Amino acid sequence: MSKGIRAAVIGGTGYTGGEMCRLLLGHPAVTEILPTSRGEESFERVHPNLLGSGLRFHDVDEITAAVGDLDVVFLCTPSGEAMRRTPELLKAGARVIDLSADFRFADPEAYRRTYGAEHTAPELLPEAVYGVTEFHRDLLPEARLVANPGCYVITALLGLEPLLSAGLAAPGAPLHIAAVNGTTGAGIKPRTEILHAEVFGSMLPYSLQGHRHAPELEDRLSRPAGGPVTVDLSTAHGPFARGIYIQAGVRVREELREEVSRELLLARYTERYGAGADGEFFVRINAEPQLGGLTDKDYRRYPSLAGVVGSNFCHIGVDYDARRGIAKVVSVTDNLVKGAAGSALQNMNVMLGHDETTGLRSYGL
């Protein structure tokens, strides 16, 4: 560690790979960054925001051959590729953080049902640590393989876990989650529907027949809920490049409806995450008091997407519809930072013995 961290980013041409490189460039302990590409374009042509960084693309096989000299490998690849490369990387002694979906399920059958393909490295699934740092911090220092969750899932988990672990949700009632992602969430491959001229001033719903992240959410949320949950996940791309906006409705237990209030929910979330630097640094609860009358549009007591863009923070707001007995949760992150590269760097920090906020303390734009 005295020589600094040597990191490879396999899949360095996409939005997540570029963001991974950007964050690593700002990390004081990282001394070498090796992004890969199968194409012929230069690194700075693909990522002009990193002009002057001095980074260049490497061939992925070149990196794999030298992996024994690396401290960590970030896999920013499409689903299917990580499971093919990871066994060799681990055998060579590298520690792997996978930003794809390949190791997020402990059960290979659950992966097959969700992604329609057989898992080719099922023997590694039991040891993969699920990479929500706030929930699995203690497992990271010894981990060889970390499965970084995706942007929808990490934003929803952080937003809903305190409510479910407190036993407030009515058993059997579906969790309704409406989620909007920036267009970078659609990936870098050109598609007409994602062009600025098409998306600007519009919304682009997709996967309403059953989003692939719903089973992952059901798996992970069943743990704090203490039993099976059903997730009704509706997704869309919004007319912005970066960000995840999640708004969830959770039916409260019948016997608790008279007791629940926004103040009680805020107390629970503050208890779970603490307050700022005295708690989970990257999870902030919006506790602005209600101003005005019952029907006034009091925008400031809920978090805004603009408040987290460019940062590794998750901002959470809550409220309560007493007439219907439904707790409301708003959770926002930057899909490329806390939803991908930022949480991966946070995990790396814990794995390698650094303060987990190193290189990530910047606030939103």
Give the residue numbers annotated as catalytic, written as ranges.
151
By the 8 A CB rule, do 351 and 140 touch? yes
Do 74 and 67 contact (CB within 8 A), yes or no? no
| Torsion (CA) 199, 205, 211, 212 in degrees, nearest 10 | -10
Question: How far apart are the C-alpha atoms of 365 and 357, rounded to whole Å?
Answer: 18
Contact of 239 with 203, CB cutoff 8 Å: yes
Residue 158, class by beta-carbon neighbours within 10 Å (0-12 exposed, 13-18 middle, 19+ buried)? buried
In sequence order, what DSSP letters do the residues of 330-362 get, joined into one string? Answer: EEEE-TTIIIIIHHHHHHHHHHTTS-TTTT--P
Name the nearest CA neighbour of 10 among 127, 98, 101.
98
Tokens of 99: 């930003």
Give the C-alpha separation, 324 to 254, whole Å: 10
Q: Which residue do the tokens 């699920």 mark?
A: 130
Q: How far apart are CA 284 and CA 305, in angstroms?
A: 13
**Residue 329 has what DSSP assignment?**
E
- CA dist 28 and 21 (Å) reads 13
- Find the DSSP H helices in 274-313: none
- In total, the chain counts a number of residues equal to 365
Burial of 106 (0-12, 13-18, 19+ CB in 10 A): middle
CB 28 within 8 Å of CB 359: yes
